[in-house]
Amino acid sequence: MRNFTFSARDTQGRLVRGILEAETSTAVADRLRKRGYLVTRLEETVSLPGWMNLEWHRSIPEEGLLLASIQLANMVSAGVPLVSSLQTVASQTSDRPLREALEAVTQEIETGSTFSEALSFHGDIFPGPMISMVRVGEASGHLDTVLTRFSNAVEKDLNLKKTIQAALTYPALLLAAATVLIVFVVSFIVPQFGALFTKAGVPLPLPTQILQTVGLSIRHFWWLLGMVAIGSLATLRVAVSMPSLRLKIDAALLKLPGVGPVIYQTTVARFARSLGTLVGAGLPILSALDTAQVVVGNRVVGEEIKRVRSAVEQGARLAATLSTGKVFAPDCIQMVRVGEESGRLEIMLEKIADFYELRVGFAIKQMTTLLEPILLVVMGGLVAFIMASLLLPMFDMLKVFKGGGLR
């Protein structure tokens, strides 16, 4: 089976995007046409998400998906029919794209689609792990269990993301405020002082000349700087879309001092959490590895998972294959080996995820503890440079005035 990404219009003209599994693109197109969709784009999914992707899902807030999945799992486990559960969840969802997707899923189930198939028609809203787990839950008759497992995984993932965001908020605000203040002083205050010193016949020292040049450049060529920034972002976007360059970028990110370990630990935690959740839900190990490869978001780790998946398909053990690579640490491999030997692989993978998430929390605290004084020292140095650039010509001006008074 291969994955195909599609865009289509439903009977009401609304745009629908999703991912379907099929042998050929023709089979996907036939399934969509039978459901009344007008296909506008259809292509096979062959690449991983961008290196910046650290989310199970990107189209709607994770909080909305988490609350909806928890509510749906509770209602299904209480014996409420699936269609009624979906209608209730949709009516109580404040996020419009999620509400419309749930309503569309409900309609598709009423017309004969399975729950997983209806979800896959909206792959831009519902993430791949959820669709895969629902498919397993339908086959095993434990839909409420797999929905609960998915909710727990999203909650853990969201907690990790919030931990990182909370730790970086203060340094980011400090950096932004200091940058705005310095740019304002350099572009508006320094040029006025420079003009005043020039009129007074005071020669400008080198630091003042540098600041005046920078300030005038910002004031008169801000549009050019903006174009350069936009061009740089566009170039970066193109670079990360190229597999070879993205692989090099991801490898470089893992080697960055301070930041690299946090990225690595976050990626391992995501891999272990997603693989443990999928295996625990009953998904075959090969399919679980396919999904985990996409979820991790880092191409270096993704390529390692791809290699491991190929070896496991040929009969190798998971831990033995992980040990032949250079990506996963010995403690992680040892816990996977224990899980395989004891038949509790999903439990050990969850423990690995918990451990690495704990390490991420400690690493983030340590990094921010060091980052705050470094930012203060750097900003203090810049402020001192600006003050010196303004005070030096003032001293020269006083000397000129004093000399004129003596004559």
Please tell me the predicted confidence (pLDDT) of residue 59.
53
Rounded Cα–Cα distance for residues 271 and 262 (Å): 14
**Residue 169 in contact with residue 370, Cβ under 8 Å?**
no
The radius of gyration of the chain from alpha carbons, rounded to an integer in Å, stands at 28
Q: What is the CATH number of domain 147-407?
A: 1.20.81.30
Which helix (H) or strand (E) segment holds residue 8: the answer is: strand 2-9
Please tell me the predicted confidence (pLDDT) of residue 37.
77
Which helix (H) or strand (E) segment holds residue 40: the answer is: strand 38-44
Place of tokens 């360059």: 245
Rounded Cα–Cα distance for residues 50 and 72 (Å): 30
By three-state DSSP, how is residue 22 classified? strand
Distances (CA, A) of 371 to 163, 169, 364, 365: 16, 12, 10, 10
Is the pTM for the entire model greater than 0.75?
A: no
Count other C-beta atoms under 10 Å from residue 358's C-beta.
12
Phi, psi of 45 (to 5 degrees): -85, 115
**Residue 161 in contact with residue 62, Cβ under 8 Å?**
yes
Domain boundaries, the chain: 1-46, 147-407
Spell out the per-residue pLDDT of the chain, length 407, in tens: 566 777 777 777 767 776 666 667 777 777 777 777 777 777 766 443 333 333 444 456 778 888 888 888 889 888 888 889 899 998 888 888 888 888 888 888 887 788 888 888 777 788 878 888 888 888 777 888 888 888 888 888 888 888 888 888 888 888 888 888 888 888 888 888 777 777 777 777 888 888 888 888 888 887 888 888 898 888 877 776 677 787 888 888 888 887 888 889 888 988 898 888 888 888 888 888 888 887 787 888 888 998 999 999 998 899 999 999 888 999 999 999 999 898 889 899 999 989 998 888 888 888 888 887 888 888 888 888 888 887 878 877 776 666 654 44
Rounded Cα–Cα distance for residues 292 and 316 (Å): 18
Please tell me the predicted confidence (pLDDT) of residue 337.
92
Count other C-beta atoms under 10 Å from residue 204's C-beta.
18
